[in-house]
Chain A
Amino acid sequence: MAEIMYWEAIRRAHDEEMARDPLVIAMGEDIGVAGGTYKATQGLFEKYGPERIIDTPISENGYTGAGIGASFIGVRPIIEIMSVNFAWLATDQIINTAAKVRYMSGGQLTAPVVIRSPGGTAHQLGAQHSARMEKVFMGIAGLRVVTPSTPKQAYGLLKSAVRCNDPVFINEHELMYNMKGEVSDEEFFHPLEGSEVVRQGRDLTLFGYNISVHWCLQAAEVLARDHGIEAEVVDLYALNPLDRVGIAESVRRTHKAIVVEEAEAPVGVGSEVMAILNEECFFELDASPRRVSALNVPIPYNHGLEKAAIPNPRDVIESALAMVQGRR
């Protein structure tokens, strides 16, 4: 067991899969000679060469479609889209081709591609480099969406995604690549479905995914220490499909739920989790579920405005206190 960074975990998964199978390739902008914007492929160009670690032109729809086409006939491409904001340009190929081709071919053809991309608000990158897209992709039939919150998940989810026969979108976060965590030295494969209780608690459930899992954990510490409130934290590492069973099970224990997401609230993870709670365990709820979400604005440049636009652990604590104390 070694403590490694999130980017190192992703790099290790690439390396192992590429060493095992000559038809696993990686492609994306600046991933080769330049070593990858977030170092996810560092050193692999030297090891595997330009035919397998492919520097693409800045043509997101074109190279994503090319990866999908290659996946039709036995190649397993890991496509890196430098920022999820650029993945908007590739939505045609991801949604219209990768997600639908199995169905519309009657099961004959499948697109086992992995598309990795970081989203989220980093450091004053402005409206067009700070958005999130998981809410779009998680609503697409035929596309799996996972989102690692730790180096362990970053490694294990990528390993499973490469081997899985479905297209998988992996939603990463620009602020998380240097996060450290324990990853087993032994090879393992993380489930692509389900959720994980990462902190047990009896008083309420905090649902998070990706970076917001950490906000939930920080908030839970404070709630326990200062307020005697034991929050359960559930990590929704799989967004499509969402873990209906796990979501409902936790709330049957705690009877209260808050969904914490960095994205804007409308049509998002929070709204979907709340719908599941209504459908699965409405009568178990002791309070209206809440969302801690971004304001519904494009992410601003100014640092103060930027911080105001997205939630933080303090917002989670306040929401939890209000819920437990019966305030609005």
Chain B
Amino acid sequence: MTVVSSSLKSTNTSPNAAALSDADKVRLLREMLYARRFEERCYEAYVESKIGGFLHLYSGQEACAHGVLEAARPGRDYVVTGYRDHIHAIKCGADPKAVMAELFAKETGCSKGRGGSMHIFDVANRFMGGYALVGGPFPLAVGMAKAIKLKGDDDIAICFLGDAANNQGTFHESLNIAKVWDLPVLFVCENNLYGIGTRIERSTSVLDQYKRAAAYDIPASQTDGQDIDAVYAAACEAVNHVRSGQGPYFLELMTYRYRGHSMSDSNAYRTKDEEQRWLGRDPIALLQERLAKASILSDEDYKKMDTKVIDEIEDSVIAFAEESPAPDVADVEKYVLAENDPYVQGRV
């Protein structure tokens, strides 16, 4: 059995979904291209040993984070995800320089060099973290949604995770709680067909992940995660549902990662043929071709855009990460506990 985008249930475009303007589409193309070049530059930096530890790249999945967050309020809605987190953070508003500096383990990194690739945080922009235990963020998103509801805000919580996370107990516990407590939380499942190196058919009884939400009576849909217009339309519907107080929603996006699970991955578990098929539905190329055909952005202007992005990443982002200082070893015990918390001593 194969899971391919042709088998997708089509998602109705919400009549409420604000149409993206041409300028928005060009901006989104640039953002996705930036994400791709950023991640591919990370790959090089890892090979050069500038980045240590584990590194999970997002190349191929760009339309998911960009399409969903475009339909939400990045910087205001609360977002959590797993360890493939650089691009979600940047789309929420994190400075790419601070993200790259984090990967380079520098004091100027967004987590001050204490987190690394899997633990990007930018709380000011309400990017509430990348977490490295598969399925760990589900309950955190539910809890943030509970807090939003208590405060009476119209923010929502968004949890981005992969298909394999749905085989953790936290998936079931969290969807159940989200529904019983009627919480404003959007679960986005980026189904890239693999949990580390095991294909979905070999690990998962129900292949269409959106169907699993029915077990908790949570409305759900599945859409093409490579086509940002489709993602955006589906996400508008999902976000409207959640923000309007109708409770949780589960959105499945069919996608593919080009790189291995992490940098230590031999990629031996999938075929060249499959990789080629998915490369043929590249989210950036799809949008770029669409914009060229509609005479919104010429091929020449796209190439210029690409060159500028590459230069910007090199001259600004990489340079900043390279030149930034490492954390002072004397500070290794900082940030374990709150400093000078009066209640630790009892009397205030």
Contact = CB atoms under 8 A, between A and B. Distances in A.
Interface of A: 22-23, 25, 51-52, 54, 56-57, 59, 61-75, 77, 92-93, 96-97, 101-110, 141-142, 144, 156, 160-161, 163-166, 188-193
B148 A165 contact: no
- Interface pairs A-B: 10 shortest CB-CB: A69-B143, A65-B139, A62-B173, A106-B112, A69-B140, A191-B346, A66-B143, A59-B173, A105-B121, A165-B338
Interface in B36-89: 78, 80
9 contacts: A65-B139, A68-B140, A73-B147, A105-B111, A105-B115, A142-B337, A160-B343, A161-B343, A189-B347
B337 A101 contact: no
B305 to A, nearest CB: 33
Contact of B150 (A75, A101, A102, A189): A75
Nearest to A193: B344
Q: Considering residues B180, B337, B346, which has the most beta carbons from chain A within 10 angstroms of its beta carbon?
A: B337
A71 B147 CA distance: 8
Contacts of A74: 147, 151
B176 A189 contact: no
A163 B150 CA distance: 19
A12 B143 CA distance: 25
Interface stretch (B123-131, B234-242, B295-303): B123-131
A66 B151 CA distance: 16
Contacts of A72: 78, 128, 140, 143-144, 147
B150 A23 contact: yes
Q: Considering residues A72, A77, A93, A191, which has the most beta carbons from chain B within 10 angstroms of its beta carbon?
A: A72
A61 B157 CA distance: 19
A144 B122 CA distance: 25
Given A57-B176, A57-B177, A108-B111, A166 B345 contact: no
Given A59-B173, A105-B129, A192-B343, A75 B146 contact: yes
Given A106-B111, A106-B114, A144-B337, A62 B148 contact: no
Interface in B13-56: none
A164 B341 contact: yes
B98 to A, nearest CB: 10
A110 B344 CA distance: 15
Given A104-B119, A165-B341, A189-B343, 20 more contacts: A25-B150, A54-B181, A56-B177, A61-B173, A62-B138, A65-B136, A66-B143, A75-B143, A93-B136, A96-B133, A103-B335, A104-B121, A109-B121, A142-B337, A164-B338, A165-B338, A166-B337, A189-B347, A192-B344, A193-B344
A71 B138 CA distance: 15
A205 B123 CA distance: 48
A157 to B, nearest CB: 9
A102 B170 contact: no
B312 to A, nearest CB: 25
Nearest to A54: B181
Contacts of B144: 69-70, 72-73
Interface residues of B, number: 55
A89 to B, nearest CB: 8
Contacts of B121: 104-106, 108-109
A141 B147 CA distance: 26
B96 interface: no
A192 B129 contact: no
Contacts of B110: 106
B42 to A, nearest CB: 19
A206 B176 CA distance: 48
Interface of B: 78, 80, 109-116, 119, 121-124, 128-129, 131, 133, 136, 138-151, 157, 169-170, 173-174, 176-177, 180-181, 334-338, 341, 343-348
Contact of A102 (B113, B335, B343): B335
A281 B107 CA distance: 39
A105 B94 CA distance: 13
B335 A65 contact: no
A66 B181 CA distance: 11
B111 to A, nearest CB: 4
Contact of A66 (B109, B148, B177): B177
A156 B346 contact: yes
B142 A66 contact: yes
B176 A59 contact: yes
Q: Considering residues A54, A62, A102, which has the most beta carbons from chain B within 10 angstroms of its beta carbon?
A: A62
A102 B344 contact: no
Given A57-B173, A66-B139, A104 B338 contact: no
A70 B140 CA distance: 7
Contact of B143 (A51, A65, A144, A191): A65
Contacts of A104: 111, 114-116, 119, 121, 129
Given A66-B146, A105-B129, A164 B140 contact: no
Given A68-B139, A142-B336, A192-B343, A108 B147 contact: no
Contacts of A164: 338, 341, 343-344
A93 B177 CA distance: 16
A143 to B, nearest CB: 9
Contacts of A156: 346
A104 B144 CA distance: 19
A308 B348 CA distance: 45
A63 B341 contact: no
Nearest to A74: B147
Nearest to A75: B147
B119 A97 contact: no
A104 B117 CA distance: 11
A105 B126 CA distance: 12
A243 B333 CA distance: 18
Nearest to A77: B143
A69 B147 contact: yes
A96 B112 contact: no
Contacts of B119: 104-105
A141 B336 CA distance: 7
A188 B147 contact: no
Given A23-B150, A69-B144, A69-B147, A107 B112 contact: yes
